[in-house]
Amino acid sequence: MSFSLSVDETAEASLRRIVYEQIDGAIAQLGRGDDLNEEIHEARKHFKRIRAVLRLARGALPGKTYRCENAFFRDQGRILSPVRDSAVYLETFDRLHGRHGRHMTGNALTRLRHALEKSHRSLLDGLARDPQQLAAIVDSLEVARSRVDSWRFRATETAPFAPGLQRTYARGRAELRVAIKRPTTENFHAFRKRVKYLWYHMQILRPVWPGPVGALARECDKLGDRLGDEHDLAMLLQSSQLRKLQEERGDLADLLNVLADRERSHIRRTASLQAARIYQERPDRFAGRIAAYWHASQRAKFLKADFGP
């Protein structure tokens, strides 16, 4: 099934099913054996989706369950993050070069790209030479899968996802204000994480009213991608390889900083305008509106059962 609720299931059953599917997906990715870079990238996506489910269900799950499971899947992602980060540095350099190649010339920049590629390859090879690292993650995921069945959802006055959704939306709204007031790399990255969680939540909740919720999911996806590009540029500028270039050829390092900062500034301006539209509602009203869609979809299910299509 898809990464979404089903109107034919209870919300609790859907959320549990999604987690099972994401764990199984991560296990399958880590066992592919054909493209280690892609396996890691896809497995980390599954971990992020599971953490999004946990946040969405936070108001209905016991606090201990949320904290332990969130920390577990966060830590699995962190084991793989150095490999993914090194790939992002390389991809970001290539995108920047693709847009500004006529300015980005010279042997020093060629050596920079080779250094980025060498670092990524070294990390990949390290994992490939020690398959027990991935095997250990798979084993821990099998154990985690067995825990999901024991999750107990508390009864709530409204939709079980409403408190978690309100919290995610409120955090995003607050992080947006901070990022606009103090536009640092850290603040925009914090906001980006909230946008990504809201995007995951809208994907999960899309079936409650596919038109409006699907449209919001697409806007969050676009915004998250923009903010992701901004963060990738910031991380490239902070990489050890660029610091080495600064020592060897400060003029070229300065050029990269200027080109990247110019793009980052443009992304921040356009992203802030888009974000203002997404985060225009009060969090309680936003969560209440989505919960109302869910309740309506549940009523429609029973009406269909009583009266037919």
Domain locations in the chain? Answer: 11-301
Task: With both helix axes pointing from N to C terminus, report the angle between 36-56 and 107-129 in degrees, rounded to the nearest 10.
Answer: 80
pTM of the model: 0.92
As a whole number of angstroms, the distance between CA 92 and CA 241 comes to: 13
Report the candidate in 158, 200, 204 with the shortest Cα–Cα distance to residue 15.
204
Q: CATH 2.60.40.1150: does it fit domain 11-301?
A: no
Each residue's pLDDT expressed in tens, for the chain with a length of 309 residues: 589 998 888 889 999 999 999 999 999 999 988 899 999 999 999 999 999 999 999 989 999 999 999 999 999 999 999 999 999 999 999 999 998 888 888 888 889 999 999 999 999 999 888 889 999 999 999 999 999 999 998 877 678 899 999 999 999 999 999 999 999 999 999 999 999 999 999 999 999 999 999 999 999 999 999 999 999 999 999 999 999 988 888 888 899 999 999 999 999 999 999 999 999 999 999 999 999 998 888 777 655 555 455
| Residue 140 tokens, joined | 């821990």
Report the candidate in 181, 292, 228, 182 with the shortest Cα–Cα distance to residue 84.
228
Q: What is the pLDDT of residue 309?
A: 52
Q: What is the pLDDT of residue 252?
A: 87
> Is residue 29 within 8 Å of 43, Cβ to Cβ?
yes
As a whole number of angstroms, the distance between CA 12 and CA 7 comes to: 11
List b or e across 26-46, with b for residues whose CB sees 16 or more CB atoms inside 10 angstroms: bbebbeeeeebbebbbbbbbb
The three-point CA angle 299-300-305 to 5° equals: 100
> Is residue 23 within 8 Å of 47, Cβ to Cβ?
no
Judged by phi (left if over 0) then psi (alpha if -120 to 50, else beta), residue 120 lies in alpha
As a whole number of angstroms, the distance between CA 256 and CA 101 comes to: 11
Q: What is the pLDDT of residue 160?
A: 86
> Is residue 5 within 8 Å of 205, Cβ to Cβ?
yes
Q: What is the pLDDT of residue 308?
A: 52
